[in-house]
Amino acid sequence: MNLTRRTLLASAALLPVACTGLSYERGIPVSQPKPLPVIRPPQLGQSWTYIKKDMFSGKTLDVITEKLTKLSPMITLDRVTASGDRLPSEIQASWGMVATDTQWPRLLNFSPSLPLWPEQLSTVWAKQITTQYSVAGYPESRLNWQEYMSVQGWEKITVPAGEFVALRFQTLINYESDDANKVDCIRKETVWFAPQIGRWVAREASGSYQIQGQIGAVILEGSYRWELSAYQ
C-alpha cells in the first residue's frame, strides 16, 4: 500500500471524532457463507431506499430512492428524494463499476471507472486502485484519485429494511482537490455490501483536508451514514 503516512494517520483520526454524534454501525461477525452468495444481477425496476443521517448530530437529512432505469449502453440509477425532487443519476460502466458517482458534494466522473464493491467476496481481498476524475461540467480538468479497498469480514447487520449477512469493507481515499488551496484530501468509507440485493445495506463516510501553507491544521468534512429502509 503506497498511501502516505499522513493519509493513514488522518483516516485513523476520523473515527473517534465522528463518534461524538451517532455511533458507528457495528455488525456481528459471522463466518464466511458457504457457498459464497451470488451478487444479484441488475434488472430494470430494481430499487433501493436509504435514510441519510448526519453522524455528528444524528439528524435525518433525507430519504433517497435509487431506481435502476437503464441497462444499456450504461447502467443508470435514477435518484429522487422523499419529496420527489430529482437528484443526479448514478451511472455504472458495468455492474458494480461506477463511472458517475453521486455520493459526493459534487457529481464526479471517473475514467477509468471504480469498483463499488470488492471484486472478490473474500475476507482476504484487498486492492489499491488509481484513476482520475473530473467534476461534472468541467471535463477538461482531470485530477488524481487513489484508493485502497480492503475486506474486513462478513457481519450480520440490522437496518430498517431488516437483517442481512453482509460483506464489510473499508475504502481509504486520497485525492487531488479541484481547489488548489486544499491538500492532503482524505476520505474514509465503511460499507456493508449485501450480495443478495446487489447493493449496500449500510454505509458510513467521513473526510478531512488541510489548507495549503497551514501546518498541522486538519479540517473535518461532513460525516454521514446511510441505512437501507426498503428495496425491490
pLDDT per residue of the chain (232 residues) written in tens, 0 to 9: 455 545 444 444 444 443 444 544 578 999 999 999 999 999 999 999 999 999 999 999 999 999 999 999 999 999 999 999 999 999 999 999 999 999 998 999 999 999 999 999 999 999 999 999 999 999 888 999 999 999 999 999 999 999 999 999 999 999 999 999 999 999 999 999 999 999 999 999 999 999 988 877 899 999 999 999 999 9
At residue 15, the pLDDT reads: 45
At residue 215, the pLDDT reads: 77
CA gap 140, 178 in Å, rounded: 12
At residue 2, the pLDDT reads: 53
Task: Kindly report the CATH number assigned to the domain that includes residue 138.
Answer: 2.40.360
At residue 193, the pLDDT reads: 98
Residue written as grid cell 433501493: 48
Distances (CA, A) of 161 to 49, 60, 87, 164: 9, 16, 22, 9
State whether residue 143 is helix, strand or coil.
strand
Cα–chain-centroid distance for residue 5? 22
For the chain, what is the domain count?
1
Sign of the dihedral defined by the CA atoms of residues 175, 178, 184, 187, in that order: negative
Determine the structural domain holding residue 98 and report its residue range. Answer: 5-231
Which region holds residue 105: left if phi is over 0, alpha if psi is between -120 and 50, else beta?
alpha
